[in-house]
Amino acid sequence: MGNVERESGGERRFIADNMLGSLARWLRMMGYDTVYIMEGGDDEIVALSKEQERVILTRDRELTRRKGADSYYVAGTGIGEQLADVASFFRLRFREGEMRCSVCNGLLVVEGKGGAAGLVPEGVLERNEIFRKCSGCGKLYWKGTHWRRIMERIEGVLRG
């Protein structure tokens, strides 16, 4: 279970360990600031957790026993189970205004057609009025089929 207190997930920020890359991407899309540590030892993760007040999400029981850092042992090996576990424990919700880039964790900012012109296929530009652009890497998001699949999955998880 780790050592973190259960409470409302409103302003929670997370660090996902190297086993939880998919979970990190989904949490970002749900609007939660999540750093993903691909390489680096436990010391580095614990230090970052303290410095940035982030909860460590991990599949490593050793790491959850470390003193001085908030941590949570994520149950399940599949992304569906993991996301459901974390969303339920931290009472997460979908925060549309806080959505983050699944790739780099940058905050997404709303753009009109002007901000997307030349960067997406013509058909996409015609069919969409609103785009979201990553303030970090510049990746563009819009409500296409991929987006809808993501939203359906998030809603499914939050419904339980």
Q: Contact positions toward Zn ion, by CB under 5 A? A: 101, 103-104, 106, 134, 136-137, 139
Would you say 90 or 141 has its CB closer to Zn ion? 141
CB of 131 to Zn ion, least distance (A): 13
The one-character DSSP state at 104 is T
Would you say 76 or 106 has its CB closer to Zn ion? 106
From the number of C-beta atoms within 10 Å of its C-beta (0-12, 13-18, 19+), residue 63 rates as: buried
Q: Please list the residues that pair with 134 across neighbouring strands.
A: 108
The one-character DSSP state at 112 is -
Q: Where are the alpha helices (DSSP H) in 95-144?
A: 113-116, 122-127
Would you say 71 or 105 has its CB closer to Zn ion? 105
Would you say 76 or 115 has its CB closer to Zn ion? 115
CB of 134 to Zn ion, least distance (A): 3
**Could you identify the residue written with the tokens 């991407």?**
25
CB of 139 to Zn ion, least distance (A): 5
CB of 22 to Zn ion, least distance (A): 16
Token pair belonging to 28? 């970002």
